[in-house]
Structure 1
Amino acid sequence: MQRRHGASRANGSVALLRALGVAALVALASLGGPQAAVAHGGKIVLDVDQDGTGGVTVSAVYEEDGHPVSEIIDPVLTAKSEGGGVVGPTPLVSAPEGEGFWVSSEPLFTEGSWDVTVTITSPRAAEVKKSIEFVIVDQTPVAGSDAAESGEQSTDWVSAAGVIGIGALVLLAIAILVAVIVRNRRRKEVSR
């Protein structure tokens, strides 16, 4: 009988460890994995602004939930300046900054006030009109500055939070495993 009782305790410990392992895997998957597909719908809201180099950045989000538009869209820009200058129609391209952003592929504007319009027809029609005061900023890093010496540094706090979360889960799993092993050893010592 003692063996059978001991074997059932061992099986219980194994089952507990398996359950903890599954829970840890589920937690890890939810932290760093791709977000679950969510059916977005409704109105798309566009925003346009200058990028400091004579180009533009456009953001597109769903009005209902504020999530970025991840679908392929077809933004086209047109603009007129106070001085009579005209830009466009110019298609914009998907930005490397992530989902929901589009940019001009090159500088389009001179300094000054411009009335900018961006329209899309797909996946739903949307338009934004905005008066923008374009200011061209010198993008050359100053010698001796941190940016010039070390290159561009990552500020992706979401990735850092994911790494910290994974580390915390791993430490938690190790602590639980150690607690189960210590408990089993103490029970064996008591039963002797």
Structure 2
Amino acid sequence: MSNRRFTATALAATALLALGPATTAHAHGDTIRLGPIQVTAGHPTTLAVWDNDGDPVDEKIAGTLSATSADGTTAGPWRLVPVPGAKPGTLTTKEALPAGRWTITAETAFPALGRVQGQAEVTTASLSSPTPAPARTEQPSASRDTGSDSGSGSDSGSTTTVIAISAAAVAAGLAGFWLLRRRARRT
């Protein structure tokens, strides 16, 4: 009887090993995509989304923003903070840039690395307007080439892998059960 228990336990352990370690159902990946940089009333803003699936980063983000003007003046690094009432992942700074043409770099360190660099012009009119209007911005220059568009099949590929591994584990368990029953009938 102990031989049957050993065999059953070994088959169960093999099936669990075939499943592998548990993974989160909605893994976002390991990098953040920032951008584009816009400026409203002197405050630079950017949107942080997960590079793998394009979902907004809705957890606490640690990052900084710095800027260099055309004449070499620097500003920052300033801490990135969430914009109250805005879409999750929308970040800005408490500090405002003065009028001028700026090259702005935003970087995150937690929960993942992210970086964007872009240029924006802050006008005196945008700084003094009672209702902040977005300043003219240019598209950010890519700091890295991801080589893929966001949301492209990465979730479906990992789901397919999990299903295939689960099916293999169930098949191995059923085969082991069938072998045990066959052996039991012979003895």
Could you tell me the TM-score, scaled by structure 2's length? 0.50
Cα deviation, 1:92-133, whole Å, max 9, x if unaligned, reads 2111113111111132x1222111111111111111111222
1:124 counterpart = 2:112: yes
> 1:93 and 1:42 mapped to 2: Cα distance?
21
Paired-residue identity, % = 33
Whether the 8 Å contact between 1:54 and 1:110 is mirrored in structure 2 is yes
Contact 1:58 1:101 in 2 (8 A): yes
Tell me if the contact between 2:78 and 2:95 (Cα under 8 Å) persists in the aligned partners.
Answer: no
How far 1:44 moved relative to its partner?
1.2
Partner of residue 44 from structure 1, selected from 14, 29, 32: 32
Larger radius of gyration: 1
Structure 2 gaps, min length 5: 1-24, 132-187
Distance in 2 between residues matched to 1:139 and 1:50, nearest whole Å: 16
Q: Among residues 131, 136, 139, which one is paired with 2:129 in the alignment? A: 139
- 1:160-175 to 2 correspondence within 5 Å? none
Partner residue of 1:72?
60
Letter matched to residue 100 of structure 2: G
1:128 match: secondary structure: strand
Equivalence for 2:95: 106
Q: How many pairs align?
A: 104
Q: Higher helix fraction: Structure 1 or Structure 2?
A: 1
1:38 alignment partner AA: H
Q: Which runs of 5+ in 1 are unaligned?
A: 1-36, 142-192
> How far apart are the structure 1 equivalents of 2:111 and 2:95?
25
Task: Give the counterpart letter for 2:29 in structure 1.
Answer: G
- Residue 55 of structure 2 aligns to which amino acid in structure 1? H
> How far apart are 1:72 and its partner, in Å?
1.4
**Conserved in 2, the CA contact under 8 Å of 1:80 and 1:86?**
yes
Shift of residue 48, structure 1, vs aligned partner = 4.3
SS of the equivalent of 1:51 reads strand
Task: Name the residue aligned to 2:136.
Answer: none
Taking only aligned residues, the RMSD between alpha carbons, in angstroms, comes to 1.9
Q: Following superposition, which runs of at least 4 residues in structure 1 exceed 6 angstroms of deviation?
A: none
Could you tell me the TM-score, scaled by structure 1's length? 0.49
Distance in 2 between residues matched to 1:78 and 1:52, nearest whole Å: 16
Say if 2:81 is the partner of 1:93: yes
| AA partner of residue 87 (structure 2) | G
